[in-house]
């Protein structure tokens, strides 16, 4: 099973309009477009902070917007981010709007949830990391229950051989736990799973 996942949308005004025109969900894919420029990162988990750290080595400034006053990321990740002088943590804030023109994104409006103050941040890059929707419907039975073991987020639990809890069922790519969410690594998962499938079939003969 290699059905993958899709990045969740945050739901702010202009998200769909400027997706692919300044709004992105992949720093490693699009970060180089913003070399020596300021960008905004939306999210408060490990992925958001890891991607912000990556962008800080390319961009002049990285503003991380999070709706809470504390981040959900692992302490080592947060500590590493806080040591970067060009990463600015904007807490207790939500992204109200992304705006621009025919050329693409030109800026974002950030609202402080405690003061209701609106800040206009003029930059052309916005990276959204608010989770993924795992495409796992194919693994549900008629009652809507999973046929194999998953974690709380619906990601399939596998071992290093991509084996699931069901004999003969293998899962690879973004549908599995701890997936790196990179195409080349998903392809590697698929290769491992394919070899395991061949071995499994041969063992059954």
Residues tagged active-site: 26, 29-30
Given this model, what pLDDT does residue 26 score?
93
Question: Token digits for 68?
Answer: 């809470």
Given this model, what pLDDT does residue 182 score?
83
Work out the percent of the chain whose per-residue pLDDT is above 90: 95
Distance, in Å, from the CA atom of 186 to the CA atom of 173, rounded to the nearest integer, reads 4
Given this model, what pLDDT does residue 180 score?
82
Question: Token digits for 18?
Answer: 């400027």
Element of type H or E holding 128:
strand 125-128
Distance, in Å, from the CA atom of 125 to the CA atom of 102, rounded to the nearest integer, reads 15
Residue with tokens 């992304």: 98
**How open is the CA angle 202-186-26, to the nearest 5 degrees?**
170
Question: Token digits for 129?
Answer: 């990391």
Asked if 16 and 102 touch (Cβ cutoff 8 Å), the reply is no
Sequence-distant (6+) residues with CB within 8 A of 43 are 49, 64, 65, 66, 128, 129, 130
Question: Which tens digit of pLDDT belongs to each residue from 53-99?
Answer: 999 999 999 999 999 999 999 999 999 999 999 999 999 999 999 99
Given this model, what pLDDT does residue 181 score?
80
Q: All domains of the chain, ordered by start, with CATH?
A: 5-132 (3.50.50.60), 136-204 (3.50.50.60)
Distance, in Å, from the CA atom of 158 to the CA atom of 107, rounded to the nearest integer, reads 41
Question: Which tens digit of pLDDT belongs to each residue from 31-53?
Answer: 999 999 999 999 999 999 999 99
Which residue, among 59, 32, 64, has the nearest Cα to 47 in the 3D structure?
Answer: 64
Question: Token digits for 143?
Answer: 């009652």
**How open is the CA angle 162-168-173, to the nearest 5 degrees?**
30
Given this model, what pLDDT does residue 51 score?
96
Question: Which tens digit of pLDDT belongs to each residue from 150-202?
Answer: 999 899 999 999 999 999 999 999 999 999 888 899 999 999 999 999 999 99
Largest CA distance in the chain: 68
Q: 3-state DSSP call for residue 198?
A: helix
Mean pLDDT value across residues 91-111: 97
Global pTM exceeds 0.85: no
């Amino acid at each position: 099973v290699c059905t993958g996942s899709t990045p969740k949308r945050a739901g702010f005004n202009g998200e769909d309009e400027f997706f692919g025109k300044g709004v992105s969900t992949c720093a490693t894919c699009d970060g180089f477009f913003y070399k020596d420029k300021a960008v905004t990162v939306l999210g408060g988990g490990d992925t958001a902070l890891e991607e912000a750290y990556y962008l800080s080595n390319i961009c002049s400034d990285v503003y991380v917007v999070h709706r809470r006053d504390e981040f959900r990321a692992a302490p080592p990740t947060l500590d590493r981010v806080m040591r970067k002088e060009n990463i600015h943590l904007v807490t207790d804030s939500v992204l109200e709007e992304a705006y621009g023109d025919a050329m693409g994104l030109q800026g974002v409006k950030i609202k402080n949830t405690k003061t209701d103050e609106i800040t206009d941040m003029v930059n052309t890059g916005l990276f959204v990391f608010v989770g993924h929707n795992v495409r796992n419907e194919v693994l549900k039975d008629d009652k809507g229950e999973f046929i194999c073991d998953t974690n709380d987020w619906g990601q399939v639990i596998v071992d290093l051989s991509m084996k699931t809890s069901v004999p003969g069922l293998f899962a690879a790519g973004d549908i599995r736990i701890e997936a790196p969410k990179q195409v080349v690594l998903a392809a590697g998962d698929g290769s491992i799973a394919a070899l395991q499938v061949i071995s499994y079939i041969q063992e059954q003969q």
